[in-house]
Amino acid sequence: MTPPAHDSVRAVAWDDGALRLLDQRALPQRVDYLRCTGAPAVARAIHDMAVRGAPAIGIAAAYGVALAARARYAAAPATWKQAIETDLALLLDARPTAVNLRWAVERMRAKIGALAGDPGEALLNEARAIHEADVAANRRMGELGAALIEPGSGVLTHCNTGALATGGYGTALGVIRAAYAAGKITQVYAGETRPWLQGARLTAWELAQEGMPVTLIADSAAAYLMAQGKVRWVIVGADRIAGNGDTANKIGTYSLALAARRHGVKFMVVAPLATLDTNISSGREIPIEQRPAGEILTLNGQPVAAPFATAWNPSFDITPADLIDAWVNETGVVFQPAPAKIRALAG
């Protein structure tokens, strides 16, 4: 099968008995890879944001479970299922907001419960299945989302939702890839995404690697850009979607949704069904990760704030469902997501 256009980047890969992760902290200055041979290394890579993006985190965690099972079974075949619970807890604690992480670990736990004998091959195959399904879902979402975009559009995206954040191709950036390949997009605008600069470091790098036009803007310039008529769609991913359609995504997404509504710009969330958490009724119940204050107060280790200043540093915010025009997932498009529509989809 010929790979889709503009699709060459891969951040997560199983390689010769270990998990290979593109270290996204080093981009764009260096292209470095981490080789993880056990669950602690995978959990550390997730926590430290060497791997990031909800789907990629889930996939990495699934491979982490496979690595943990291999080690636990080799050490104590009779008690490995009890011992691996420590590794599962370690992986689950690495990042609390992204529901894909818990979804992937729980799927692997269910597989563990059905196994007898050496679990290595079965759990590796399960992790690979999660990985392959993510790529297939992303390509399908790319098709569905691209169909909504008018020819000649400029689009704005936030954070990084491409191959770097997923198993491959991307969610929101997958839609942008597909729409650009179809000749519908004339310009992609990327917000810088303070304080980790995922838009500046990762999205701009990824689009440049694929030969797609990208213009970087300061996060605070987005509303003014919309006022100039440069943007027809804001296209973002999601780390968790509540039962009523409220959506958690990288901090700054809510501001974009408010500005989009004010300026008549459409707002699209692109995320697989695994991102939906029907156990919670609204965004108020989504746990929001608080990151270290130093991420705001310093840049590359150098102070940028006045001495003795403090910082509030939530990693995510909540966009209310009534500000979302379309949620694109692998099964279709939910327009104006609302509880009844989501219940029907989940049911």
What is the spatial distance between Cα 179 and Cα 172, in angstroms, rounded to a whole number?
A: 11
What is the spatial distance between Cα 256 and Cα 191, in angstroms, rounded to a whole number?
A: 10
C-beta separation of 46 from 101 below 8 A = yes
Can you read off the two tokens belonging to residue 5? Answer: 């256009």
Neighbours of 280 (CB within 10 A): 18
The answer to whether residue 118 is catalytic is no
Can you read off the two tokens belonging to residue 39? Answer: 């669950």
Phi and psi of 86, rounded to 5°?
A: -60, -40
Those residues with Cβ within 8 angstroms of residue 73's Cβ, 6 or more apart along the chain or in another chain? 80, 118, 119, 120
3-class secondary structure, 182: coil
Q: What is the dihedral of CA 85, 86, 89, 93, to 10 degrees?
A: -170
What is the spatial distance between Cα 200 and Cα 2, in angstroms, rounded to a whole number?
A: 30
Q: Dump the DSSP string for 286-334.
A: S--PBPPTHHHHEETTEE-S-TT-----BSEEEE-GGG-SEEEETTEEE
3-class secondary structure, 41: helix
Catalytic: which of 219, 239, 277, 317? 239
Known catalytic residues are 239
